[in-house]
Amino acid sequence: MTTNATATPQTPRPIPSLKRQPRTGERLVELLLKAVALTSIAAIVLILAFVAREALPVFTGTGSDESGASLDLLLAEPLADGSEPLLWRPVSHPPRYNVIPLVIGSLKVTLVAVLIAAPLGIAAAIYVSELAGKRQREIVKPTIELLAGVPSVVIGFYALVVLASWIQGIFGTEHRLNALVAGTGLALAVCPVIFTVSEDALQAVPHAYRTAALALGSDRLQMIFRVVVPAALPGILASLVLGFGRAIGETMIVLLASGNAALISGSIGVSTRTITATIAEELGEVVVGSGHYRVLFALGTILFASTFVLNFAGERVIHGLRKKLGTA
């Protein structure tokens, strides 16, 4: 290498670098963009730090309510009047902050939403990506994506007024507003998320896979379900994780359509209260720094942690799958 350099006679002229020296203006813009990107990271970290700090007394067991009792999120000791001990009853005397009914409520509504939205979203993605003609595709795709732009309060009100009556009419549910109604409303918000991400994943499958499958003699359905969908599986799973995160964090739809009674029940036909709706309803009235306030922040921390863990686990699984499929 060095001999090569010395051997050339016209060395004095420096070789122009491919990396052009950026002008100051460009540098400024680059710095600005970097700062913006860092700001969003800083915002997330600071929000988490704030929420966790406000909730700290609950997790360390040092917090107490006005009567001096400690803030126990899983307190199960029976009440004086002999009623059900696992209660979310924050304004009673003494208050009870058992989060079990809320966790069950959130999971129930989210599962219903994902179970409805996943088959619909994925099937629509397969149709649009693999089967639809150009014109159908140009109508169907933007229409589904438009659904993501419908404000959640509108979906919530629709669920409260219209959907609830239909569902009660069809299934004869015990309560008119219940986990099924909220979950169905929520599915409307989750479906576009699952659809968009799944469709992108299917589109990303190399065209050679399709032509190879057809050349080997498979028909179209075989090509889709034996080759394209398996190759896009990591992306489809990612869409489910994102959809789940969207559903568990959604507030307005469940606040309006779930009835908000904190019941422990396995049935999806009864009213439920979710973590998000509880925070939205109660944070406005609590005295800053009180036991109830701390508990609500603890709920926020639990919600934050669960979506974080889910996203992280999902990322690992998807990464592993990609490696196995060789599409990384």
Partner 1 sequence: MATRRSFLFLAVFASLCHCTQGSPSGAEGTLGRVNRGKLTVKGSDTMVILGQRWAEAYAGIEPHAVVQITGGGTSTGIAALINGSTDICEASRPMSDREKEELRSKRGVPAVETKVALDALAIFVNSKNPLDEISLPALARLYAGETADWRQVGGAGHAVVLYGRESSSGTYGYFKERVLGGKDFAPSTQTLAGTSALANAVKGDEFGIGYGGVAYLEGIKALRVRTDERSTAVAPSPSTAKDGNYPISRFLYFYTAGEPTADVKKFIDWVQGPGGQEVVVEVGYYPLPKD
Q: Which residues of the chain form contacts with partner 1 (CB under 8 A)?
A: 84, 87, 89-92, 101, 160-161, 164-165, 168, 174-177, 255-256, 259-263, 270-271, 273, 281-282, 284-285, 287
Smallest separation, CB 258 to partner 1 (Å): 8
Residue nearer to partner 1 on the CB measure, 128 or 252: 252
Residues ≥6 apart with Cβ < 8 Å to 283: 293, 296
Smallest separation, CB 255 to partner 1 (Å): 6
Residue nearer to partner 1 on the CB measure, 91 or 131: 91
Contact 257, 160 (CB under 8 A): yes
Residue nearer to partner 1 on the CB measure, 99 or 194: 99
Smallest separation, CB 84 to partner 1 (Å): 7
Note the Cα 325 to chain centre separation in Å.
25
Direct distance between the N- and C-terminal alpha carbons of the chain, in angstroms, rounded to an integer = 35
Residue nearer to partner 1 on the CB measure, 111 or 280: 280
Smallest separation, CB 107 to partner 1 (Å): 18
Smallest separation, CB 52 to partner 1 (Å): 24
- Give the H or E element holding residue 97: strand 96-97
Residue nearer to partner 1 on the CB measure, 163 or 247: 163
DSSP structure string for 239-300 = HHHHHHHHHHH--HHHHHHSB------S-TTS-B--HHHHHHHHTTTSPTTSHHHHHHHHHH
